[in-house]
């Protein structure tokens, strides 16, 4: 077991604690990645608040990039020195979901408490989301990582691990947008901006961003939104109808976990439209809708986890688009912080003004 530093959650809704932990060497099918960067996702914050339950103590973090520093047997051809992104998608590759091209909903369980992490005194420590990347190193399945160009900045690359693939993938894979269709994206945060980018890349005609502030609506237009609507309006869907030329959207992408957003989402839809549920509300929260309207108008609702991506297929083409200047990544980073500053970075993220804050590791 190696000793590394990590930000550990020991009590929900309390600051994370920087401490030494132990990490096991990679086993069969696993790799060790020494991290250069890990972004802070709202899912990490929600978990650390206790909203989804879970075991404590735990190490969160799941949006990372670094360099392979050790490999176990049958590690998928990865080699020490490979630059990679690290995701939370630990897929077995052979269950019915994986075999049908849906690794994000892999059916094979993985015990995150009996994973590679231990406290300094050898006690149990959860590798949250099968990743545990608020740490100097991770040990993960080789199916969770994807090679990236050596020259690609790791702080930028880390965003591909969750926020980018979730947003872009929701538009391309889950909504299956076609050129000329109209889209409403509810929420212009990190995932929402990438959903907007995905809609633009898919050839959407009109892309209406809905958010609480004018400032975020202006940012949304920089990422491809054609119109902006304030969510604070009494009936914001009517403003969206107007922006769409008097009709409802072919798809509405809900990228926030707020229940009012879910309650209102079907109202943005046109005939045959689809609501794609991306944002993650707290456990137990419920939303309501009128089924007869969906049935009568041929509308649908579908959940989208991690953009329905196959990371080995989708991340490489997103990297190509980034290198061509067609996918914005650098512009998504709001701030760079050290591991010791992680609680400040989390508080800044909670304000809602940050697109993505990134923890960077100084390995020099």
CATH number, position 156: 3.90.180.10
Chain Cα centroid distance, residue 136: 20
State both tokens at 153.
């900045």
pLDDT averaged over every residue in the chain: 96
What residues pair up with 227 in beta bridges, in sequence order?
208
Same-domain status, 112 and 190:
no
Question: Do residue 178 and residue 225 come from a single domain?
Answer: yes
Which residue range(s) make up the domain with 248? 167-306
The secondary structure of 114-173 as a DSSP string is TSSEEETTS-B-EEGGGT--SBSEEEEEGGGEEE--TTS-HHHHHGGGTHHHHHHHIIII
Same domain, 192 and 250: yes
Residues 290 and 179 in one domain: yes
Residue 192 sits in the same domain as residue 263: yes
The mean pLDDT value for 299-322 works out to 97
One domain for residues 88 and 197: no
Left, alpha or beta for 29 (phi > 0: left; psi -120 to 50: alpha)? left
CB neighbour list of residue 115: distance below 8 Å, 6 or more residues apart = 126, 127, 130, 132, 139
CA dihedral 15, 192, 91, 45 (to 10 degrees): 10
Spatial separation of the C-alpha atoms in residues 79 and 99, rounded to whole Å: 26
pLDDT tens digits, one per residue of 78-125: 999 999 999 999 999 999 999 999 999 999 999 999 999 999 999 999
Is residue 213 classed exposed, middle or buried when 0-12, 13-18 and 19+ CB atoms within 10 A define those classes?
A: middle
Calpha distance 57→55 (Å, rounded) = 6
Q: Are strands 30-39 and 137-141 parallel, antiparallel or unpaired?
A: antiparallel
- More confident of the two residues 318 and 289: 318
DSSP designation for 23? E
**What's the pLDDT at 363?**
57
Q: Of the candidates 96, 99, 95, 65, which has an alpha carbon nearest to the alpha carbon of residue 82? A: 65
Under DSSP, the state recorded for 282 is P
Residue 133 domain-assigned (yes or no): yes
319 within a domain of the structure (yes/no) = no
Q: How far apart are CA 333 and CA 341, in angstroms?
A: 16
pLDDT per residue as tens digits for the range 147-203: 999 999 999 999 999 999 999 999 999 999 999 999 999 999 999 999 999 999 999
**Span 244-286, pLDDT tens digits:** 999 999 999 999 999 999 999 999 999 999 999 999 999 999 9
- 221 and 187 in one domain? yes
Does residue 311 lie in a domain region? no
Domain count along the chain = 2
Q: Is residue 322 part of a domain?
A: no
Residue 221, SS3?
helix
Q: Is residue 320 part of a domain?
A: no
Distance CA 331, CA 354 (A): 11
Q: How confident is the model at residue 127 (pLDDT cuts 50, 70, 90)?
A: very high
Between the alpha carbon of residue 215 and those of residues 3, 71, 331, 335, the distances in Å are 44, 45, 15, 18
Contacting residues for 29 by C-beta, under 8 A, at least 6 apart: 72, 73, 74, 75, 76, 141, 142, 143
Residue 151 located in a structural domain: yes
Tell me if 323 is assigned to some domain.
no
Task: Copy the structure tokens of residue 38.
Answer: 């890990």
217 with 262, same domain: the answer is yes
CA–CA gap between residue 159 and residue 85 (Å, rounded): 9
118 and 243 share a domain? no
8 and 135 in a single domain? The answer is: yes
Check which CATH number belongs to the domain holding 230 and give it. Answer: 3.40.50.720
Question: Among residues of the chain, what percentage have pLDDT more than 70?
Answer: 99
Residue 293: cis peptide before it, omega within 30 degrees of 0: no
How confident is the model at residue 215, as a pLDDT?
94
Q: Are residues 228 and 142 in the same domain?
A: no
Whether 179 is in a domain gets the answer yes
Kindly state whether residues 111 and 232 are assigned to the same domain. no
Q: What does the H/E/C string look like for 162-192?
A: CHHHHHHHHHHHHCCCCCCCEEEEECCCHHH
């Amino acid at each position: 077991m190696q000793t590394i530093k990590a930000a550990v959650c020991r009590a929900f809704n309390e600051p994370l604690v920087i401490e030494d932990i132990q990490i096991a060497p990679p086993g069969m099918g696993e790799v060790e990645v020494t991290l250069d960067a890990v972004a802070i996702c709202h899912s990490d914050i929600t978990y650390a608040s206790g909203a989804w339950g879970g075991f404590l103590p735990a190490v969160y973090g799941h949006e990372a990039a670094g360099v392979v520093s050790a490999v176990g047997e049958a590690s998928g051809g990865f080699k020490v020195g490979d630059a990679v992104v690290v995701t939370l998608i630990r897929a077995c590759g052979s269950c019915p979901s994986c075999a049908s091209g849906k690794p994000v909903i892999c059916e094979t369980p993985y015990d995150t408490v009996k994973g590679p992490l231990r406290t300094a005194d050898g006690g149990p420590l959860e590798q949250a989301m099968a990743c545990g990347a608020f740490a100097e190193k991770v040990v993960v399945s080789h199916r969770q990582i994807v090679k990236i160009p050596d020259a690609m900045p790791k702080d930028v690359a880390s965003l591909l691990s969750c926020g980018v693939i979730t947003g872009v993938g929701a538009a391309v894979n889950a909504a299956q947008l076609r050129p000329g269709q109209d889209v409403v994206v509810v929420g212009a945060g990190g995932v929402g901006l990438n959903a907007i980018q995905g809609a633009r890349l898919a050839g959407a005609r009109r892309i209406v961003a809905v958010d609480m502030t004018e400032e975020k609506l202006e940012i949304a237009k920089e990422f491809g939104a054609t119109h902006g609507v304030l969510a604070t309006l009494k009936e914001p869907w009517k403003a969206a109808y107007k922006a769409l030329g008097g009709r409802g959207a072919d798809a509405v992408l809900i990228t926030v976990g707020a229940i009012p957003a879910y309650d209102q989402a079907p109202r943005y839809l046109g005939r045959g439209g689809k609501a794609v549920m991306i944002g993650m509300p707290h456990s137990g929260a419920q939303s309501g809708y009128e089924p007869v309207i969906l049935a009568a108008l041929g509308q649908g609702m579908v959940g989208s986890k991690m953009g329905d991506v196959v990371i080995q297929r989708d991340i490489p083409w997103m990297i190509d688009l980034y290198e061509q200047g067609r996918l914005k990544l650098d512009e998504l980073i709001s701030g760079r912080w050290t591991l010791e500053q992680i609680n400040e970075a989390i508080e800044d993220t909670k304000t809602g003004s940050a697109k993505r804050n990134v923890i960077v590791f100084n390995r020099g």
